[in-house]
Amino acid sequence: MRLSLATKITSIIGLAIIIILVLTALFAPLLAPYEPTAGSLRDRLAPPFWQEGGSMAHLLGTDKLGRDILSRLIYGARTSLTVAVIAILLSGSFGSTLGIAAGYLSGWGDTIIMRIVDVAFSFPAILLAMVFAVVFGASFFNIIIVISLILWAEYARMARGETLKIKEMDYVALAQVAGVSKAKIMFRHILPNVATTLIVLATLQVGIVIILESALSFLGVGIPPPTPDWGTMIAEGRSYVATAWWLSMVPGMAIVVTVLSFNLLGDALTELLNPTRQP
């Protein structure tokens, strides 16, 4: 299946930015010029190097505690991407397993699972995440669990819908006649054919996770300080928007660029892997 020229260009740009972000997160200790939590009150609120009063010592300026913005931005990428990858792996594995089982086995199990999915979709994501974060406390592990509990329902519904179509295929019927167990049919014959759709969904949800995690940190119920996090950086800079715009603008732009890049890649994968799309 061929991609349109516009999709090719945007997907290449998105993929290039994602590769840079991943490499930045992996090699953060080597790339960051300073420790992200190390501050110097003498250098507090220093502007970016291109602005009057800025210097090459702090390319993107410093915050109210004199911490280097570039270093915190680099480590913030590691935090956001780590949360996104782990949360999507957990929610995707759990939701996909339930969705495939519900679609293939049908019956009362399918009904119960899908009613739970409907209930999960009825709650506002941010509100639910805030309640869980407040009840169980703000920590790196708890945020991952909270986000996983929000995302799994989407995978369950998607996997069930694809399974309902695939289980009517001839090769599934032949496997049943041959006496292959239900578990093997689900994970040997159905899962590989559902995987492409789930991969596209996972790619698109990276942006959702980053926005959700940043929003929780902005509201004070996400990744606890002093761990560098883009949402926390925006929250810390909101009192200085008029005098030190870079405190919130820099991490805000990082979120926008990251989310847009994953969405561009997800759109390209949708066009490439969707067999019903016309070339």
CA–CA distance from 251 to each of 25, 150, 206 (Å)?
15, 24, 17
- Is 5-273 in CATH node 1.10.3720.10? yes
> pLDDT tens, 4-60?
777 788 889 999 999 999 999 999 999 999 999 888 888 898 999 998 888 898 999
Q: Please report the pLDDT score of residue 34 as a whole number.
A: 93
Q: Which two tokens stand for residue 241?
A: 């928007």
Delimit the domains of the chain by residue range: 5-273
Residue 138 token pair: 């703000």
For residue 279, name the pLDDT band (cuts at 50, 70, 90).
very low
Please tell me the pTM assigned to this model: 0.88
Residue pLDDT, tens place only, 196-230:
889 989 998 999 999 989 988 888 888 888 888 99
Task: Report the largest interatomic distance among the alpha carbons of the chain, rounded to a whole angstrom.
Answer: 77
Which residues, at least 6 apart from 206, have a Cβ–Cβ distance to it below 8 Å?
84, 88, 259, 262
Give tens-digit pLDDT for 117-175. Answer: 988 888 777 787 778 777 877 788 888 888 888 899 999 999 999 898 888 888 888 88
